[in-house]
Amino acid sequence: MSRVGNTILVIDDDTIVRESIIAYLEDSGFNILQAENGEQGLAVYKESQPDLILCDLRMPRMDGLGVLRNVREISPELPFIVVSGAGVMADVVEALRLGASDYIIKPIVDLEVLEYAINRALENAQLAVENRRYRESLEEAIRTLEGNLQLLKEDQKAGREVQMRMLPQKPLEFAGYRVDHHIIPSLYLSGDFVDYFALNDHCFAFYLADVSGHGASSAFVTVLLKHMSINLLQEYQSHGGKARVKPSHVLSYINKNLMNSGLGKHVAVFGGVVDIRNHTLTYAFGGHYPLPIMHEPDKTYSIEGRGLPVGLFEDARFEDVTIDLPEQFTLTILSDGILEVLPQSSLEEKEQYLLSVIRDGANSVPALTKKLGLDAMREAPDDIALLVLARN
The predicted pLDDT at position 229 comes to 86
Residue 2 binned pLDDT confidence (cut-offs 50, 70, 90):
low
Residue 364 · residue 331 · CB < 8 Å:
no
Sheet holding 299-302, edge to edge: 172-174, 177-184, 384-391, 329-334, 293-296, 299-302
Residue 377 binned pLDDT confidence (cut-offs 50, 70, 90):
confident
The predicted pLDDT at position 199 comes to 93
Task: Give the DSSP letter string of 299-356.
Answer: EEEEPP--BPPBTS-TT--B--EEEEPPSSEEEEEE-GGGGGT---SSHHHHHHHHHH
Cα(76)–Cα(100) distance, integer angstroms? 10
Which of 104-108, 199-203, 269-273, 283-287 comes out lowest in average pLDDT? Answer: 104-108
- Note the pLDDT tens digit of each residue in 106-150: 888 899 999 999 999 999 999 998 999 989 988 888 888 787 777
**pLDDT higher than threshold 60 for residue 69:** yes
- Note the pLDDT tens digit of each residue in 204-223: 999 999 988 766 777 778 88
**pLDDT higher than threshold 80 for residue 87:** no
The predicted pLDDT at position 232 comes to 87
Cα(199)–Cα(205) distance, integer angstroms? 7
Over range 353-374, report the average pLDDT: 93
The predicted pLDDT at position 181 comes to 95
The model's pTM: 0.63
The predicted pLDDT at position 150 comes to 79
Closest to 179 (Cα-Cα) out of 369, 364, 367, 374: 364
Radius of gyration of the chain (CA): 39
**pLDDT higher than threshold 70 for residue 283:** yes
The predicted pLDDT at position 65 comes to 94
Give 3-state DSSP helix, strand, coil % of the chain, rounded to 5: 45, 25, 30
Could you give the percent of the chain with pLDDT greater than 90? 62
Over range 299-325, report the average pLDDT: 93
- Note the pLDDT tens digit of each residue in 160-189: 777 777 889 899 999 999 999 998 877 667
- Note the pLDDT tens digit of each residue in 29-54: 999 999 999 999 999 999 999 999 99
The predicted pLDDT at position 381 comes to 79
Per-residue burial over 338-362, b = 16 or more CB atoms within 10 Å of its CB, e = otherwise: bbebbeeeeeeebbeebbebbeeeb
The CA-based angle 192-194-198, given to 5 degrees, is 165
Residue 153 binned pLDDT confidence (cut-offs 50, 70, 90):
confident
Cα(375)–Cα(23) distance, integer angstroms? 81
- Note the pLDDT tens digit of each residue in 227-268: 888 888 888 888 887 778 899 999 999 999 888 888 788 999
Residue 3 binned pLDDT confidence (cut-offs 50, 70, 90):
low
Phi/psi of residue 242, each to 5°? Answer: -105, -25
Q: How many CA atoms, within 13 angstroms, populate the side-chain half-sphere of residue 51?
A: 19
The predicted pLDDT at position 260 comes to 87
Cα(334)–Cα(183) distance, integer angstroms? 10
